[in-house]
Amino acid sequence: MTRRESLKFFLAAGIWTVLKGRLNAAQPASMKDIENLQKNWKTLLADGVKVPLPSEPLKLSKEEWRKRLDAAQFNVLREEGTERPGSSPLNAEKRPGVFVCLGCNLPLFTSEMKYESGTGWPSFFTTIPGVFGTSTDYKLILPRTEYHCIRCGGHHGHVFDDGPPPTGKRWCNNGVALRFIPRDGGKA
């Protein structure tokens, strides 16, 4: 190899290593990787941020929720509404961090669990463990699995079986029901 050729070779190898790292980070290959994402979710939580536990229930009356939430948040979280696809700024959120329940601050997903589903709703292939309860709804005639925050009961979205491997799950979440806490500071 000439010097020029070897320079090209090392550049290409370097770019490949970076790309491969990105691909690996974005796409866990095995259920072991998924377990690790779930186990290590706190590494994505910003320093000094206090968050509640799933075992500390938050119960408020309908009127109290109305005061605490704006109309769009109330419609999704307390009335099982669905936001217009593409309407949430969180669709484009790609920074490292944690997505918490807008109703009660319970951490639900990390940035490493998010993927681009192309649906117009923030989508995740797995969740922080033990943070959701599920029920079956028939609003669109065909049964769908609704999921809600285990702490405050707020509705978040539906989970489908057309997500990417290895989980095959698509947690289709209303962005208006989430708050993003960037790990490295900056605008939430």
CA angle 114–112–117, rounded 5-degree value: 20
- Is residue 101 a contact residue for Zn ion (CB under 5 A)? yes
The alpha-carbon radius of gyration of the chain (Å, integer) is 19
Burial class of residue 19 in the structure, from the number of CB atoms within 10 Å of its CB (0-12 exposed, 13-18 middle, 19+ buried): exposed
- Is residue 107 a contact residue for Zn ion (CB under 5 A)? no
- Residue 78: which residues within 8 A CB-CB, separation 6 or more? 62, 65, 69, 154, 155
Q: What span, in angstroms and rounded, lies between the C-alpha atoms of 188 and 180?
A: 5
Least distance from Zn ion to the Cβ atom of residue 19, Å: 37
Least distance from Zn ion to the Cβ atom of residue 90, Å: 16
CA angle 188–64–181, rounded 5-degree value: 15
Q: Which of 28, 103, 122, 175 binds Zn ion (CB under 5 A)?
A: 103
Q: Which of 37, 90, 104, 108 binds Zn ion (CB under 5 A)?
A: 104
Tell me the window of 63-71, 106-114, 117-125, 129-137 that interacts with Zn ion (CB under 5 A): 106-114
Nearest Cα to Cα of residue 180 among 109, 132, 81:
109
Least distance from Zn ion to the Cβ atom of residue 41, Å: 16
- Is residue 97 a contact residue for Zn ion (CB under 5 A)? no
Least distance from Zn ion to the Cβ atom of residue 136, Å: 20
* Residues within window 120-149 making contact with Zn ion, judged by CB under 5 A: 149
Q: What span, in angstroms and rounded, lies between the C-alpha atoms of 127 and 41?
A: 9
Number of residues that bind Zn ion (CB under 5 A): 8
Q: Please say which residue, 65 or 125, places its beta carbon nearer to Zn ion.
A: 65
- The residues carrying an active-site annotation are 172
At residue 108, the 3 state secondary structure works out as strand
Q: Which of 154, 157, 163, 175 binds Zn ion (CB under 5 A)?
A: 154
Q: Please say which residue, 103 or 175, places its beta carbon nearer to Zn ion.
A: 103
Residues that bind Zn ion (CB under 5 A): 101, 103-104, 106, 149, 151-152, 154
